[in-house]
Structure 1
Amino acid sequence: MAWALKLTAAARAKTQGWESVRTGNHTVNREMLGINAEMGFVRGPARVVLIRAWTE
C-alpha cells in the first residue's frame, strides 16, 4: 500500500512540473526507508527540530 501511494504521489508531482521531491521518515521505519531506497531517494543528513512551549 505504501509503495502504491508513494508512486501515485510521485507521478502526480511530475505531471504538475515538480523536479524534485523530499520525504521524511523516522529512522526506525526500516520498511519505508527500504521503499524510498528502491525508488531512488537519496538519504541526506539528519535534521533536528526543537520545539519549546510558548509561556507568558
Structure 2
Amino acid sequence: MAWGALLGRVSRRPGHAEFAARPAEELGEAEFAETVRVLGRLSAGVEAVGAAGMSSPSEA
C-alpha cells in the first residue's frame, strides 16, 4: 500500500491523521507501512476472537 493511502485510511477519522503523522514521520515509509499491516492483523484477530464468542480476561 502506498504511503499516501496509508495516511488516507487513517485521515477519515477526525484527529487520527494528526496522531498517525507523528510515528509515520519518525519511522519512515517502510516501517510505518509494516506497523499498520501488523496492527491490522492484530485488530482482525481480536475481532475474530470476539466473533467466536470468547470473553476477554476482564469478562471472565
* Same fold (TM > 0.5): no
Q: Normalising by structure 1, report the TM-score.
A: 0.30
Structure with higher helix content: 2
